[in-house]
């Protein structure tokens, strides 16, 4: 379920208009396998977003509720851009219904900057989300 919801989230993000707050902050639309990845990032020399699904809490015994999680990893050219894009992601996705009855909830109020890689060329930051699934 976790990987499926990450794929649906990727589809949602690639469907955003160029004027939506996430593409505006990033400076370009999101395109799968170009600047938006699921699971792992292929090396690219562009600002990118990677959705990394991971399990949440155990399923509820009644079978009507379950939870999964996704970490959104940003690779940007500057720390300022990491903060701007990460905050746009939190603002746009928090409490949004993504797929059917799944609702995404930000676990952070803003992005966490992890550091710089590749000769200080890229800033790496993350934002974490919980995805709640409800059957009715």
Residue 79 sits in a domain whose CATH number is: 3.30.2000
Binned at pLDDT 50, 70 and 90, residue 3 comes out as low
What are the distances in angstroms from CA 73 to CA 86, 105, 115? 9, 16, 12
Tell me what pLDDT residue 85 has.
Answer: 97
* pLDDT tens sequence across 5-61: 889 899 999 999 999 999 999 999 999 999 999 998 888 889 999 999 988 776 667
Tell me what pLDDT residue 133 has.
Answer: 76
> What is the dihedral sign for C-alpha 13, 14, 17, 22?
positive
Domain count, the chain: 1
Tell me what pLDDT residue 21 has.
Answer: 96
Q: Which domain holds residue 7?
A: 2-134
To the question of pTM greater than 0.85 for the whole model, the response is yes
**3-state secondary structure at position 128:** strand
């Amino acid at each position: 379920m976790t990987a499926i919801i990450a794929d649906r989230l990727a589809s949602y993000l690639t469907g955003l208009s160029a004027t939506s707050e996430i593409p505006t902050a990033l400076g370009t639309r999101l395109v799968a396998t170009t600047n938006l990845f699921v699971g792992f990032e292929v090396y690219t020399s562009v600002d990118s977003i990677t959705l990394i699904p991971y399990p949440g809490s155990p399923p509820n015994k009644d079978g009507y509720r379950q939870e999964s999680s996704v970490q959104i990893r940003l690779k940007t050219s500057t720390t300022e851009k990491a903060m701007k894009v990460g905050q746009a992601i939190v603002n746009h996705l928090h409490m949004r219904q993504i797929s059917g009855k799944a609702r995404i909830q930000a676990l952070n109020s803003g992005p966490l900057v992890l550091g710089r890689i590749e000769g200080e060329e890229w800033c790496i930051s993350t934002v974490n989300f919980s995805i709640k699934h409800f059957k009715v």
